[in-house]
Structure 1
Amino acid sequence: MLRSRYRGHMNSPPSKDCPTIAAIDLGTNSCRLLIAKVEGQAFQVIDSFSRVVRLGESVHTTNRLTEAAIQRTIEALRICQEKIENNKVCHLRAVTTEACRRAENSDDLVKRALNELGLSIDIISAEEEARLALSGCAGVLNSRIPFALAFDIGGGSTEVMWLRINEPRRLHRRRFPVIEVIDCISLPYGVVTLCDRYNNQSYDLDIYNEIRHEVAKLLTEFSQRNNIPATMARQKVQMIGTSGTVTTLAAISLNLERYDRRMIDGVSLEISDIHRMCAEIFALNQEQRAHHPCIGAGRTDLVVMGTGILEGICDTWPVPSLRVADRGVREGILMELVKEMYPSKSVHPRFVKK
């Protein structure tokens, strides 16, 4: 039976007659919702919502969610609940990640969401978070390259996976790669936790390079135990990234005046261009970043922390290019909900664009 997580329309039995499904990803920085119609064994996104809530502010130093952060999050979840109600969602899963894993009082938020909004939120492990993100972004992997590094720079942590891409198999007249997770690591660095760590101060080059170096240092043992440098030397490794940091760089590279997911998802960025754009972002002052069409006032500090993490990853693994995925945990949840509807088949839903 499909997981039913909302008290509104959740009492109806599972139906394959074009049901409406939804996924909420409540991260350390943002609250994000996707609502989709299931069409056959695929889905089409019909509504979405995203808001910066900074749920994890101060968690790095206090191990507690602040009342202000909880209230901001409840307000964002209320909008999600209204959209779920208006779209007559039948099946929903809502998850939360690093901030609630770390916070001693995460139950306060979970109980308020359930009691006030009827939303049941799962606090998932770093491993499940990585698995869902991989499920969501697997469609951008190149099946001709046998290994992949996949990462997600979040608000509270950064998840990195080392993958084997096995021989594609044919399903429903399409070919999909079979992905094996060889190893994974969760770094205790995210854009919000780093902002808290440095107390939102003006970030000089020493601080930036410290972040970059610490990330690379943490990844070195992971890289060596999996013999990744040798595999890279044989040109057998691709890299994909999913996060606001990498999608921002993709938007900048395309000179977009406003963000357009259809233009971003699947874009390849040369590593040399990534380092150049990161340096350009760092050189901007707060006001310039606030007025940048691809950054905005709410992300002036977050984007600098994100580029520091990203450059640490690229320093460790200087592959020729990075594939950008504007998808992740939400899409992974939707795909798993669809798979649960077809348990007797190996379903790999495709993304249907409007």
Structure 2
Amino acid sequence: MADRNSRGPTGSGSAGRKRKRGKRPPQPVYGAIDLGTNNCRMLLAQRTQTGFHVVDAFSRVVRLGEGLHANGRLSDAAMDRAVEALKICRDKMGRRQVAKHRSIATQACRMADNGEAFLERVREEAGIEFELITPEEEARLAVHGCVDLLDPDMDAALVIDIGGGSTELSWVDLAEWRKRGGPDSGGRPPMRSWMSAPIGVVTLSERFPEREDRLAWYDEMKAFARRLIKTPRGARAMRPVFAEGRAHLVGTSGTVTSIAGVHLQLPRYDRSRVDGLSMGLDEAEAACRHLRNMDVTGRSREPTIGSDRAELVLAGCAIYEAVAEAWPAAHLRVGDRGLREGLLLNMMRKPKRRRGRRGKSQTRSSDPQASASRGETDASQTQAPARTDAASDE
């Protein structure tokens, strides 16, 4: 008796039966949520040969850290705003059938006495498990998210990530990266040093309320930022590289994209023109000066600033200028990207293969405990009820 499983096309022409080729299954969707001191941001994306393709995105100003400097706690109103935004993220992930996601919280939850209790509330009400990451990982994720903005022809870069509650700086050795093959190697550039300062656009603006003597007020903010932004030991050796003009700056925050939008005099924000823009440091300084000469009403009328950023953008400019003056460089590269992109790229990286003892190629373990230790969550565990009216808010 013939084996039923052996049936197939046995002849040629019309006598043979052609097998139908099955459709290639769609690429899984990955999700990344960054809950910061000022914003809640999410990206949903699929892997491509060169990176990833965004299939959905969400961003909302929630001001989670509002009043944190004065009270040491997250306020009820701020937590309510954040939870409602995260419910929208949950619904979007459910509709897109996200295969894996990672959700991180940063400085506001690190500083607040009730930060961990708030993240437990998020888990219960929005069904999203958050990881409270360290400042070091925050710095590394910022670098990973903007690797393609690094100029491999330069010898060093300083990546600046100005957040709502903290500022991370990362010194990257591009000369060593070039020796290792640079972008074509697929490897990441070595970080020689990093630091985190407990100031951001929210905390600095709350510490220094705006005054009529705007220039003196701005200089006070810049001086305060300068005192808190220390030079770590590993970065000192890179000073000659900056002094000789062989380094550049990379900005990955809303502050720097706002500066770029003002410089370009955009009638409305256009990511395609801002992301990847290279600016001279004098051009960035001129944009900061333009904003500094306006009151909050004037800044709110700037098309790329608006009312959401009008009260905060000068604090960000003061932090940026404090860094740029301490580390003068050839130019500033602007990135409309950040932690979410770093999270996605990390999750999408193919597992490295290593040689086993017997010479056989092996793949690193992908068991659930290993994934959990990296803060990655299987989306099947995320609650995703029916769409609510609020979910239509993009």
TM normalised by structure 1 equals 0.87
Separation (CA, whole Å) in 2 of partners of 1:231 and 1:20: 41
Alignment of 1:1-354 (within 5 A): 18-40=27-49, 42-165=51-174, 166-167=177-178, 174-176=184-186, 178-199=188-209, 204-219=214-229, 221-222=231-232, 226-339=236-349, 341-344=350-353
Q: Does the C-alpha gap of structure 1 residues 42 and 225 become closer, same or farther in structure 2, counting only changes over 3 Å?
A: closer
Change (3 A) 1:104 1:203: farther
Shift of 1:257: 1.6
1:179 counterpart SS class: coil
> Once the 2 structures are TM-superposed, how far is the Cα of residue 168 of structure 1 from its aligned partner?
6.0
Residues of 2 paired with 1:237 and 1:126: CA distance? 24
Amino acid across the alignment from 2:326: T
Aligned partner of residue 56 in structure 1, secondary structure: coil
- Larger-gyration structure (1/2): 2
State the distance in 2 between where 1:195 and 1:62 align.
15
Q: Deviations over 1:322-349 (max 9, x none)?
A: 111111100000001101x434399xxx
Cα distance change of structure 1 residues 105 and 200 upon mapping to structure 2, 3 Å threshold: farther
Residue correspondences, number: 330
Separation of aligned partners in 2, 1:94 and 1:203: 41
CA distance in 1 between counterparts of 2:295 and 2:320 reads: 20
Distance 1:257 1:89, change over 3 A: same
Q: Which residue of 1 aligns with 2:375?
A: none
Paired residues of 1:24 and 1:31 also in contact (CA < 8 A): yes
When the two chains are superposed, the root-mean-square deviation of aligned CA atoms in Å is 2.4
Q: For residue 11 of structure 2, what is the aligned residue in structure 1?
A: none
How far the C-alpha of 1:169 sits from its partner, in A, is: 5.3
CA shift, 1:222, in A, is 3.6
Deviation string for 1:117-160 (max 9, x for gaps)?
Answer: 11001110000111111110111001111211111000001001
Between structures 1 and 2, the one with greater strand share: 1
> How high is the sequence identity, in percent, across the aligned residues?
37
Structure 1 residues 72 and 168: CA distance shift in structure 2, 3 A: farther
Describe the SS at the equivalent of 2:69. helix
CA distance in 2, matches of 1:233, 1:287: 39
CA contact (8 A) 1:27 1:99 kept: yes
Amino acid at match of 1:334: L
Partner of 1:167, secondary structure, is: helix
Measured in 2, the distance between the counterparts of 1:207 and 1:117 equals 41
TM-fit CA distance, 1:320: 2.8
What CA deviation, in whole Å up to 9, does each residue of 1:139-188 have, x standing for no partner?
100111121111100000100111112226569x9455641111111111
Q: Distance in 2 between matches of 1:78 and 1:203?
A: 42
Q: Following the alignment from structure 2 to structure 1, what is the Cα–Cα distance between the partners of residues 58 and 127? A: 18
| TM-fit CA distance, 1:90 | 1.2
Question: For residue 3 of structure 1, what is the aligned residue in structure 2?
Answer: none
Q: Return the offset for 1:217.
A: 3.5
Residue in structure 2 matched with residue 11 of structure 1 by the alignment: none
- Name the TM-score, length of structure 2 as normaliser: 0.78
Q: Supply the distance in 1 between the matched residues of 2:187 and 2:246 (Cα, whole angstroms).
A: 15
- Deviation of 1:98 after TM superposition, in Å, equals 0.3
CA contact (8 A) 2:246 2:329 kept: no
The answer as to whether partners of 1:96 and 1:124 remain within 8 angstroms in 2 is yes
Contact 1:18/1:40 (8 A) holds in 2: no
- Counterparts of 2:38 and 2:70 in 1: how far apart (Å)? 16
Cα deviations by residue, 1:10-50 (Å, 9 ceiling, x for unpaired): xxxxxx95100110000000000000022357320011111
SS of 1:189's equivalent in the other structure is: coil
Given that residues 144 and 188 in structure 2 are in contact (C-alpha distance below 8 angstroms), is that contact kept between their aligned partners in structure 1?
Answer: no
Match of residue 349 from structure 1: none
Query: Highest relative contact order (Cα 8 Å, sep 6+), 1 or 2?
Result: 1
